[in-house]
Structure 1
Amino acid sequence: MRVVALIHFYLPAHRAGSETMMHAMLRALIDAGHQVHVVVTSQPVGEDHYTVDGVEVHRAGAGERIVPRLVASLAPDVLITHHQETPHASKLGRDLGVPVVHVVHNNMHHTTLWLHKRPDLVVFNTHWIRRYYATRHRGLRSIVVHPPVWGEQHATTPGDRVTLVNLNRDKGGPHFYELARRMPDVGFLGVVGGHGAQVIDLSVPNVEIQPQTADMPGEVWSRTRLLLMPSIYESFGMVAVEAAHSGIPTIAHPTPGLLESLSYAGTYADRDDPDTWVSTIRSLLDPDTWPVVSAVARRRAAELDPRVELAAFVAELETLHTDHKGR
């Protein structure tokens, strides 16, 4: 089977959760013996053709690299897409007569509109989003694949900082600095994120800013004792699972995604209640409490082994391909 992913960004230039999830899914297809190509539409610079872990990446552009022509030249058996390229992939699938797979990372308004295209298969990143669309788009063929997190890529010995990953407003950047100001005796670590305008405040003496990094175990988790996620929205919350593989507990605003990913291992507080966050941080940093919640975090991380869901995804795509050929 020859699979072509039509997407806006890809690794290594962009490493947000959507890109890393897509890469894990495509790698699972390669491991199962299938050919995989990626066509990227929004990377303004870089090589026109390169390979990442066996995935061949083609940067669309002018001339022969115009998107429809480039995708057609790769002779896909299946098209897979997400985010802004979904409507384009849907049209190309119809034009080329191949099934289209839509990976859904959220329940935003544009996602609702795109699902009206009636893809041949929907891959939802959580059960709560699948349930959200169950009554809005009846009859969609679908499967759930949680964003894959490989424990061996993240596990390390935790450090002593209280950390926020991604300092934009929606992730809780201003809340992070407010907590640090209220707790001058505690060291905080703010990690620059891969998307959104970052809120950088260098006036708080107990906050250290870590530039965006691909080495999360070496530069973030090895320095972190406790993770904060006062996010206004998280469809899942990969970073919490990454941290949990090192036994790092998370305090989170109870978004549906974080409730699903962290489950019983999360400690929850309303993002607009700083007093509760301060008291909870101090409680979890207590030397008698931290080992207990750390062990619970590790247990939850182990439950989220991605291999079963990725194998189910590959099998579903193979069945989709067979069904389509039989029409």
Structure 2
Amino acid sequence: MRVVALVHYYVPWYMAGSEVMLHAMLRALADAGHHVEVVVTSHERGPDEYRHEGIRVQCAGERGSVVELLDQLAPDVLVSHHQEAPHAAHYARTRRGRSPRVALVFHNTFPGALAVCRRWRPDLAVFNTDWVADYYRRRRAVMPGTQTLVVHPPVDADRHRTRPGDRVTLVNLNRDKGGEIFCALAERMPDIHFMGVIGGHGEQIVRDLPNVRIQPHTPDPRRDIWARTKVLLMPSVYESYGLVSIEAAVSGIPTIAAPTPGLKEALGEAGTWVRRTDLSGWEREIRRLLEPGEWRLASKKAKARSAELDPGEELAEWVRMVESL
């Protein structure tokens, strides 16, 4: 079976949660013996063509060249997400003869994504959490004839497991992820070592503070992030899941988070919850978790939660459902 993913960005040049999740899903298809390729449309970093972990990635920035490249690749199944989802569905509908089946992955509850699911009626709609899937169903965004599946963003534990470091870390310094809150906490706590990681999307809020290390966007989070992190911060406005919190949990790194539905589903009882705008609460919980006894207890809970979220079963079901298309 020939599977092609049509996307705007791809790993390892863009390591945001959506891209990391989709790559894990495509690798599962490749590991099952299927031919998998990726077409990217907004690839501002990296080469125009490359291979990553056995998957060939080609850049086709012009819309006409995208269609030509998809025609050449002749997919049996076309996979997409975000802004390329309607283009993938439109391409499949307008092909003469045997059209590819369409599997779309939905990572959030934004109105535009619901409209895509409702209008384009993919053969398979994949949701990254139970709460997101329920949200679409309650709003009747899933039309008759569309199969549905929940795949929580997979984490390959062996790619992330390491000995934690000593810093309090925020991954992605844009406003919605909490970049301003991170800077405010670093200013309030000059005795604590912080690390801010440049994210894969959004304008980054970076200030020159003596107790803050800035880590560039990286394809190697185990070495560059988790080996330097003791506590992870996620003061996000919105998280449909919160993949980095589970990547951190593999190494027993606890997360302090704003109580979004996605982070609650991801972390469960392993999370430490603080209202996003409560700076005193964030400071209090940071200092508490940096105490050795409190950190060991939270670390144990994080590792246990990571073990509960083994992705093998959901990825196997994903492969089975794509094959059934």
Cα distance in 2 between the residues matched to 1:75 and 1:110: 28
How does 1:88-103 map onto structure 2 within 5 Å? 88-96=87-95, 97-103=99-105
Residue type matched to 1:21 in 2? M
Secondary structure at the counterpart of residue 289 of structure 1: helix
Is 1:20 the counterpart of 2:6? The answer is no
Residue type matched to 1:282 in 2? R
How does 1:283-322 map onto structure 2 within 5 Å? 283-320=288-325
1:212-266 deviation per Cα after TM superposition (whole angstroms, max 9, x unaligned) = 2222121221111111100001111111011111100000000111001111100
- Superposed structure 1 runs of 4+ greater than 6 Å apart: none
Per-residue deviation at 1:45? 6.4
Per-residue deviation at 1:47? 4.2
Residue type matched to 1:212 in 2? H
Per-residue deviation at 1:49? 3.4
1:41-94 deviation per Cα after TM superposition (whole angstroms, max 9, x unaligned) = 12246544332222122221469x711121111111111111111111111111
Residue type matched to 1:17 in 2? G
Is 1:86 the counterpart of 2:88? The answer is no
Cα distance in 2 between the residues matched to 1:267 and 1:143: 29
Is 1:266 the counterpart of 2:271? The answer is yes
Is 1:198 the counterpart of 2:197? The answer is no
Residue from 209, 217, 222 that aligns with 2:222: 217
Is 1:148 the counterpart of 2:123? The answer is no
Residue from 230, 253, 259 that aligns with 2:258: 253
Question: What's 1:208 paired with?
Answer: 213
Secondary structure at the counterpart of residue 13 of structure 2: coil
1:301/1:78 Cα in 2 relative to 1: closer, same or farther (>3 Å)?
same
Is 1:276 the counterpart of 2:281? The answer is yes
1:46/1:198 Cα in 2 relative to 1: closer, same or farther (>3 Å)?
closer
Question: What's 2:59 paired with?
Answer: 59
Cα distance in 2 between the residues matched to 1:286 and 1:34: 49
1:3-52 deviation per Cα after TM superposition (whole angstroms, max 9, x unaligned) = 11111111232221111111111111111111111111122465443322
TM-score, structure 1 as length reference? 0.93
Bigger mean CA deviation after superposition, 267-276 or 185-194:
185-194
1:271-326 deviation per Cα after TM superposition (whole angstroms, max 9, x unaligned) = 10111111111111111111011000000011111111111100011112xxxxxx
Question: What's 2:43 paired with?
Answer: 43
Is 1:243 the counterpart of 2:242? The answer is no
Secondary structure at the counterpart of residue 50 of structure 1: strand
1:136-184 deviation per Cα after TM superposition (whole angstroms, max 9, x unaligned) = 2244410011111111111111111111111111111111111122222
Cα distance in 2 between the residues matched to 1:45 and 1:267: 36
1:287/1:89 Cα in 2 relative to 1: closer, same or farther (>3 Å)?
same
Secondary structure at the counterpart of residue 292 of structure 2: coil
Cα distance in 2 between the residues matched to 1:62 and 1:280: 49
Aligned residues of 2:252 and 2:300 also touching (Cα < 8 A):
yes
Cα distance in 1 between the residues matched to 2:103 and 2:323: 12
Bigger mean CA deviation after superposition, 140-149 or 121-130:
140-149
1:170-200 deviation per Cα after TM superposition (whole angstroms, max 9, x unaligned) = 1111111111222222111111111110101
Secondary structure at the counterpart of residue 58 of structure 1: strand
Is 1:170 the counterpart of 2:176? The answer is yes
Residue from 105, 108, 112 that aligns with 1:106: 108
Per-residue deviation at 1:205? 2.0
Cα distance in 1 between the residues matched to 2:49 and 2:10: 12
Secondary structure at the counterpart of residue 157 of structure 1: coil
Identity of aligned residues (%): 54
Residue type matched to 2:34 in 1? H
Secondary structure at the counterpart of residue 175 of structure 2: coil
Cα distance in 1 between the residues matched to 2:246 and 2:46: 31
Runs of 5+ unmatched residues, structure 2: none
Q: How many equivalent residue pairs?
A: 318
Residue type matched to 2:310 in 1? D
Question: What's 2:128 paired with?
Answer: 125
